[in-house]
Structure 1
Amino acid sequence: MKKGHWTFLSNHGRVILYLSRNPESTTEHISRETELSLRGVQKIIAELEEAGYIARHKEGRRNYYTIHPEMPMRHQLEKEHAIGEILKAIGPAVR
């Protein structure tokens, strides 16, 4: 992303949106698609998991992610809304 270019979603928002569309994705792929560092993606996933927004399921050597859409947004201005509302509003990826 170019310097000075901003987006409406935070890095955490981008990662959880990507996981909602690609629950079987590797951290390397998430990193590439979200334009975040691999370490940054790993940290965000750990934070989302610790806070209860996602669950990680291991099958063999792969991780799969489940999002808990009923979880509330975190900021006081948004907390009456669930993350599932945002994910639903943005909708599935069009590629």
Structure 2
Amino acid sequence: MVEVHGVPEPHNGWTFLTNHARVLASIADNHNARVRDIAVRCRLTERAVQKIIADLEQTGYLSHTRIGRSNRYRIDPGQVLRHPAEAGLTVAALLSFLVRDEDEREALADGHDRPCP
């Protein structure tokens, strides 16, 4: 990925997931993730990630606790998705498809990485 002045190269074309879902999945993978790291992983600007986190907190999907200079995020897995087409589908169900399992985490520890879902 090429960055110009700290801004990740944007993705061209359509995708199946929204940036909100990507950020939420990234936080689910690491509840202590820094905005900078989420932005790089999801190919977004830090400002975009901050706005998405604010949206998710304002609607009750996410909360955070300040620990020193860091944040610890908490996702409410029981929240239902917002679109009527996903009526009844919870955040937990969505994240079950998007979050890395333990085998993938071990591969990461061995130096293999994959981009944000």
TM-score of the pair, normalised by structure 2: 0.75
Q: What value does the CA root-mean-square deviation take over the aligned residues?
A: 1.3
What pairs with 1:45-84 in structure 2 (closer than 5 Å)? Answer: 45-84=53-92
User: In 1, are the aligned partners of 2:32 and 2:71 still within 8 Å (CA)?
Assistant: yes
Which of 23, 29, 32 is the aligned partner of 1:24?
32
Partner of 1:88: 96
In 2: Cα distance, 1:42 partner to 1:2 partner:
19
Q: What are structure 1's unaligned runs of at least 5 residues?
A: none
Q: What are structure 2's unaligned runs of at least 5 residues?
A: 1-9, 109-117
The structure with the largest alpha-carbon Rg is: 2
Q: Which is bigger in relative contact order (C-alpha 8 A, separation at least 6)?
A: 2
In 2: Cα distance, 1:50 partner to 1:36 partner:
20
TM-score of the pair, normalised by structure 1: 0.91
Q: In the alignment, residue 29 of structure 1 is paired with which amino acid? A: D
Identity of aligned residues (%): 35
